[in-house]
């Protein structure tokens, strides 16, 4: 560029200066195209990331909307399980009582059988 400012430049010098300027512009254009290509690729990757994150966001929203209903279902299941546990406990208590009564009856019957099987006392 400094060469262009000289007042007494020869046509050859001017041609070389213009050629150098075009060479510089060509290099600048290639650099610009490479940077533009890189930026376009980065923009595309960011768009893909945005689509992925939007998809994840929608899934999380649905899960958040479903959470209260699922929580109520779990509460109902827990309440039913507790009720079943209480019923089983009471049934177990009844069975324990029945077993003790049966044991006492068996013991009484055994004593009766022993009395009946014993030799007469006058013997």
pLDDT digits (tens, 9 = 90+) for 17-71: 777 776 766 677 778 888 898 999 999 999 999 999 999 999 999 999 999 999 9
Q: Give the model's pLDDT for residue 10.
A: 77
- Residue 89 is predicted with a pLDDT of 98
Residues 6/19, Cβ–Cβ less than 8 Å: no
- The pTM of this model reads 0.47
* Model pLDDT for residues 61-116, shown as the tens digit of each residue: 999 999 999 999 999 999 999 999 999 999 999 999 999 999 999 999 999 998 88
Confidence of residue 3 (pLDDT cuts 50, 70, 90): very low
Residues 9 and 18: their CA atoms lie apart, in Å, by 12
């Amino acid at each position: 560029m400094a060469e262009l400012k000289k007042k007494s430049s020869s046509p050859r010098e001017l041609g070389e200066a213009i050629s150098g300027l075009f060479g510089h512009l060509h290099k600048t254009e290639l650099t610009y195209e490479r940077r533009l290509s890189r930026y376009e690729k980065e923009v595309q990757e960011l768009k893909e990331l945005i689509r992925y994150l939007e998809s994840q966001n929608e899934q999380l929203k649905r899960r958040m909307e479903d959470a209260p209903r699922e929580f109520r279902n779990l509460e109902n299941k827990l309440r039913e399980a507790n009720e079943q546990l209480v019923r089983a406990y009471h049934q177990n208590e009844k069975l324990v009582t029945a077993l003790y009564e049966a044991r006492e009856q068996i013991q009484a019957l055994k004593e009766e059988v022993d009395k009946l099987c014993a030799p007469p006392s006058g013997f």
